């Protein structure tokens, strides 16, 4: 249930369906992205993220679905949708043979900006994305992070209010990734609505107001990072043994543990707090348990993902979880 009207939604999809041949990529999914928020479509390679982006940005037609972007019906007014959005694709639109500045000016021309305004916009964006120094160098000489920044700068030439970012940090080193996160936060601060796809749970956790997990053509779960984390079993302390005899005696001594007889590990439910850890350690000492390794595990989005889509929980892929 939501009180948001369709006007305050930057992106709204109902029953979005797309198949390639007999392969159903999107099996009638619903999406709702409130204006000014970051929505993350999360899924592994081949889940259908790029397909969703291409459809919502009018590059590919859906087989079915009621789709609205920027308040415009995609089936009726694709031109109006195109005018409202910016798309930074998974594969860069940057032309490596020309300079960063020339790439920017090309975009300004595509947006029919007057010459002066085009130059000013290009210079401003190059400055904002820390590319002024490299502006006169061929884009082919740019690092991966610089190319992504140029790509995004090019997307912003038309001042779109809705932006699609398809895996904007895939393949970037951690520093460039953090840099890109800062840029995306800056866009959101300017009131831009962002549709972000990612394979990184951490990235969705960092940036997104709402996250949808795409699996087998359907939304396996949807909610805020906090809500998704509530879907998974709580944290635990994990004890690993190398000696099967020690493992068996520990398993016998400890009640309320989850056993993994193959991996020789025991899991004790815990919130990971210092206080609980101390009592667990005391308890292990008094039971004479000496584990080879002890690790503390607090649930993160990775756990959500595995809980929903992992091979060990095949029954969960059938039952849709909703955490609205
Ligand atoms: N033009 C196409 N023709 C046929 N199959 C396609 C086409 N585009 C994508 N697919 C298939 O659709 C599935 C989803 O692809 P994609 O949307 O690129 O996933 P993701 O972006 O999540 O990695 C994949 O199995 C892919 O092979
Ligand atoms: Mg993709």
Mutate which of 47, 48, 52, 309 for ligand 1 pocket (most atoms within 8 A of beta carbon): 48
Lowest mean pLDDT among 222-226, 251-255, 274-278, 315-319: 315-319
| Between 255 and 239, residue with greater pLDDT | 239
> For atom 18 of ligand 1, which residue has the closest CA?
50
pLDDT band at 318 (very low <50, low <70, confident <90, very high): very low
Q: Specify the ligand 1 atom closest to the Cα of 52.
A: 17
- Confirm or reject: Cβ of 89 under 6 Å from ligand 1: no
Q: Which of 98-107, 124-133, 139-148, 309-318 has the lowest mean pLDDT?
A: 309-318
Ligand nearest to the CA of 52: 1
Best CA proximity match to 195, nearest among 41, 74, 301, 54: 41
pLDDT bin (cut points 50, 70, 90) of residue 287 is confident
Q: How many alpha carbons lie under 13 Å from residue 205 in its C-beta half-sphere?
A: 14
Residues 28-42, mean pLDDT to the nearest whole number: 96
Residues 90 and 151: their CA atoms lie apart, in Å, by: 10
Q: What is the pLDDT of residue 311?
A: 57
Atom from ligand 1 closest to the CA of residue 47: 22
Q: Which atom of ligand 1 is nearest to the CA of 53?
A: 17
Q: What is the mean pLDDT of residues 298-309?
A: 76
pTM > 0.75 = yes
- Would you tell me the crossing angle of helices 100-110 and 115-128 to the nearest 10 degrees? 130
* pLDDT band at residue 92 under the 50/70/90 scheme: confident
> Ligand 1 in contact with 286 (CB < 6 A)?
no
Q: Determine the longest span between alpha carbons in the chain, in angstroms.
A: 79
45 lines ligand 1 (CB under 6 A): yes
User: pLDDT tens-digit profile of 131-150?
Assistant: 999 999 999 999 988 999 99
pLDDT the model gives residue 323? 40
For the segment 110-125, what is each residue's pLDDT rounded down to a tens digit?
Answer: 999 999 999 999 999 9
Is the CB of residue 25 below 6 angstroms from any atom belonging to ligand 1?
yes
Positive or negative: CA dihedral 92, 93, 94, 98: positive
Reported confidence tier of residue 316, pLDDT bands at 50, 70, 90? very low
Mean pLDDT is lowest, of 44-48, 88-92, 102-106, 171-175, for 88-92
For residue 118 and ligand 1, the question of a CB distance below 6 A is answered with: no
| 171 C-alpha to ligand 2 centroid (Å) | 13
Average pLDDT, the chain: 88
pLDDT for the residue numbered 321: 38
pLDDT at 299 over 90: no
Ligand 1 test: best mutation among 26, 51, 164, 171, most atoms within 8 Å of CB? 51
Nearest CA to ligand 1 atom 10: 20
Give the bridge partners for 20, in sequence order.
23
Residue 25 alpha carbon to ligand 2 centre in Å: 12
Taking the centre of ligand 1 as the mean of its atom positions, its distance from the CA of residue 307, in whole angstroms, is: 24
Question: String of b and e for 260-278 (b: at least 16 CB within 10 Å)?
Answer: eeeebbbbbebeeeeebee
Kindly give, in sequence order, each residue whose CB lies less than 8 Å from that of residue 219, ignoring residues fewer than 6 positions away. Answer: 29, 30, 31, 212, 213, 320
């Amino acid at each position: 249930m939501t009180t948001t009207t369709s006007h305050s939604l930057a992106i709204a999809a109902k029953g979005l369906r797309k198949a390639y041949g007999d392969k159903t990529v999107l099996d009638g999914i619903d999406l709702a992205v409130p204006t000014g928020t970051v929505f993350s479509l999360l899924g592994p390679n081949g889940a259908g993220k790029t397909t969703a982006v291409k459809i919502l940005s009018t590059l590919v037609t859906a087989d079915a679905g009621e789709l609205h972007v920027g308040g415009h019906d995609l089936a009726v007014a694709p031109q109006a949708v195109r005018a409202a959005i910016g798309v930074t694709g998974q594969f860069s639109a940057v032309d490596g043979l020309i300079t960063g500045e020339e790439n920017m000016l090309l975009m300004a021309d595509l947006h029919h900006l007057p010459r002066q305004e085009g130059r000013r916009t290009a210079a401003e964006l190059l400055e904002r994305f820390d590319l002024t120094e490299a502006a006169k160098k061929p884009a082919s000489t740019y690092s991966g992070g610089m190319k992504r920044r140029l790509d995004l700068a090019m997307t912003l030439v038309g001042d779109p209010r809705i932006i699609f970012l398809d895996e904007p940090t895939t393949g970037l080193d951690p520093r460039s990734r953090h840099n890109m996160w800062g840029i995306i936060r800056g866009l959101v601060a300017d009131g831009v609505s962002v549709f972000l796809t990612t394979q990184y749970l951490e990235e969705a956790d960092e940036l997104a107001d709402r996250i949808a997990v795409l699996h087998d053509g359907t939304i396996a779960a949807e909610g805020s990072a906090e809500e998704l984390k509530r879907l998974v079993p709580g944290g635990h302390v994990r004890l690993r043994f190398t000696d099967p005899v020690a493992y068996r005696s520990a398993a016998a001594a400890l009640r309320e543990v989850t056993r993994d007889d193959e991996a020789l590990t025991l899991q004790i439910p815990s919130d990971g707090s210092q206080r609980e850890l101390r009592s667990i350690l005391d308890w292990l000492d008094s039971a004479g348990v000496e584990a080879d390794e002890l690790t503390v595990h607090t649930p993160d989005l990775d756990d959500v993902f595995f809980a929903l889509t992992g091979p060990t929980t095949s029954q969960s892929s059938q039952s849709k979880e909703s955490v609205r």
